[in-house]
């Protein structure tokens, strides 16, 4: 049984200060012991409650949470949770943005309404969350494990293991807390079909499944996003291969500016996290090594939206990425 099919089966304290850092990372961070185990750690998450049944108990990364009634005032602590709740027809009352993109993602637009800003994913504002009187908080162990006791004192709180390559498992978990499992199942089914059709269309257009490098510039580092990344899972689902340097069972392979040749492939899609001027993007793109890449010489190295390819982390962003890949390939 495929992972997606398994997911579809699975679907059937005093608050101190205004802002608190969530920089302390548990072992599910990249490079730590449990990073690659996030899928296994997510097994069994969700609820045994029937559709419409409340109270319901939801099992998640931090244990079990009882949700007394169907949530209406939801606070989301990352872009993955934002994507999930909006996809399920819910407008969150509060959101923690990323430091690199502290505004509503354009692909979400007004579908999310006008949620209050409750800080960033690395500096959550507990006072702001409390004032919103939420009845559900959604986040992840990776981002905010240390804050879980205080958050759960404000409202029922459900945490995934981590954002990223387990975005489908996280969607199922969030849907369980929101009593929208059937909707999530249908959306994942539609996504899987669209990914297959996208890969087939690209192959039909080009006569081959081209290799695609997902290159990202961040302050102080350059990454080739790999199998255990959001974009990596989308390429796998579309059966679009990545070059050898990106075929690692990890979030990404980090390279230096001198190693930019490893980014070469039939196509290269690239972006910067936050302000490109704070990364090596401009110097790399203006240098001889970049201009010597086969993809660059063939006009097949294209800038893409960071907020969808790398920060989206949900089915809405995945759909946009698939549409953009077809456009990039002229399929």
Q: What is the 3-state secondary structure of 113-161?
A: CCCEEEEECCEECHHHHHHCCCCEEEEEHHHHHHHHHHHHHHCCEEEEC
Residues 18 and 149 in one domain: yes
Which of 240, 236, 233 lies closest to 211 in space, CA to CA?
A: 240
Tens digit of pLDDT for each residue in 164-213? 999 999 999 999 999 999 999 999 999 999 999 999 999 999 999 999 99
The predicted pLDDT at position 99 comes to 85
pLDDT digits (tens, 9 = 90+) for 96-123: 998 888 899 999 999 999 999 999 998 9
Structural domains counted in the chain: 2
CA-to-CA separations, 268 to 246, 281, 319, 329, in angstroms, rounded: 12, 14, 19, 11
Are 141 and 60 in the same domain? Answer: yes
- Write down the pLDDT at residue 8: 42
Which run of H or of E encompasses 39?
helix 38-42
Q: Are residues 52 and 170 in the same domain?
A: yes
Is the domain of 245 the same as that of 104?
no
Do residue 194 and residue 133 come from a single domain?
no
Are the C-beta atoms of 270 and 301 separated by less than 8 Å? yes
The four Cα atoms 102, 60, 2, 246 give a dihedral, to 10 degrees, of 40
Residue that finishes a domain, picked among 151, 179, 207: 179
Element (H, E) at 196: helix 181-206
Q: Same domain for 111 and 219?
A: no
42 shares its domain with 131: yes
Q: Which residue has the tokens 């960033």?
A: 120
170 and 21 both lie in a single domain: yes
**Tokens 């049944």 identify what position?**
53
Domain that holds residue 316: 188-329
The answer, yes or no, to whether residue 21 has pLDDT greater than 60, is: no
Instruction: Judge contact between 37 and 153, C-beta under 8 A.
Output: no
Same-domain pairing of 296 and 204: yes
Phi, psi (rounded to 5 degrees) for 210: -75, 155
Q: Tell me the two tokens of residue 77.
A: 């602590």
- Residue 4 reports pLDDT greater than 70: no
Mark whether 144 and 211 lie in a shared domain. no
Do 10 and 157 fall within a single domain? yes
Tell me, what CATH number does 114's domain have? 3.40.50.1980
Among 154, 179, 204, identify where a domain stops: 179
pLDDT at 32: 66
Residues 39 and 43: their CA atoms lie apart, in Å, by: 7
Do residues 207 and 166 both lie within one domain?
no
The two three-digit tokens of residue 288, written as one number = 């001889």
Give the list of residues 6+ apart from residue 58 with CB closer than 8 angstroms, or none.
45, 46, 47, 64, 65, 66, 67, 158, 173, 176, 177
Task: Tell me which of 156, 179, 202 is where a domain ends.
Answer: 179
Q: What angle do CA 256, 262, 264 make, to 5 degrees?
A: 130
Residue 178: phi and psi, rounded to 5, are: -95, 0
């Amino acid at each position: 049984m495929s992972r997606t099919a398994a997911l579809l089966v699975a679907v059937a304290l005093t608050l101190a200060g205004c802002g608190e850092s969530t920089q302390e990372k548990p072992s599910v961070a990249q490079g730590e012991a449990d990073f690659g185990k996030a899928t296994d750690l997510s097994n069994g998450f969700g609820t045994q409650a029937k559709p419409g049944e409340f109270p319901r108990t939801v099992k998640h990364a931090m244990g079990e949470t009882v949700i007394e009634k169907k949530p209406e005032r939801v606070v989301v602590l990352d872009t993955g949770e934002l994507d999930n709740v909006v996809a399920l027809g819910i407008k969150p009352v509060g959101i923690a943005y990323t430091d690199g993109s502290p505004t509503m993602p354009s692909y979400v637009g007004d579908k999310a309404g006008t949620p209050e800003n409750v800080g960033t994913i690395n500096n959550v504002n507990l006072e702001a969350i409390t004032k919103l009187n939420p009845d559900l908080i959604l986040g992840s162990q990776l981002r905010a494990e240390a804050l879980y006791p205080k958050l759960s004192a404000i409202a029922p709180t459900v945490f995934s293991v981590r954002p990223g390559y387990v975005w489908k498992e996280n969607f199922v978990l969030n849907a369980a807390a929101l009593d929208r499992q059937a909707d999530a199942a249908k959306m994942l089914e539609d996504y899987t079909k669209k990914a297959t059709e996208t890969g087939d269309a690209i192959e039909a257009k080009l006569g081959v499944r081209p290799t695609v490098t997902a290159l990202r510039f961040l302050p102080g580092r350059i990454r080739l996003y790999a199998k255990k990344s959001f974009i990596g899972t989308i390429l796998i689902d579309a059966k679009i291969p990545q070059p050898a340097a990106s075929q690692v069972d990890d979030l990404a392979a980090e390279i230096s500016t001198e190693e930019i040749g490893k980014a070469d492939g039939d196509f290269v899609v690239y972006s910067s996290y936050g302000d490109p001027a704070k990364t090596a993007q401009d110097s790399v793109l203006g240098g001889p090594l970049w201009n010597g890449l086969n993809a660059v010489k063939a006009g097949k190295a294209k800038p893409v939206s960071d907020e969808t390819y790398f920060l989206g982390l949900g089915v809405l962003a995945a759909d946009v990425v698939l549409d953009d890949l077809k456009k990039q390939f002229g399929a």
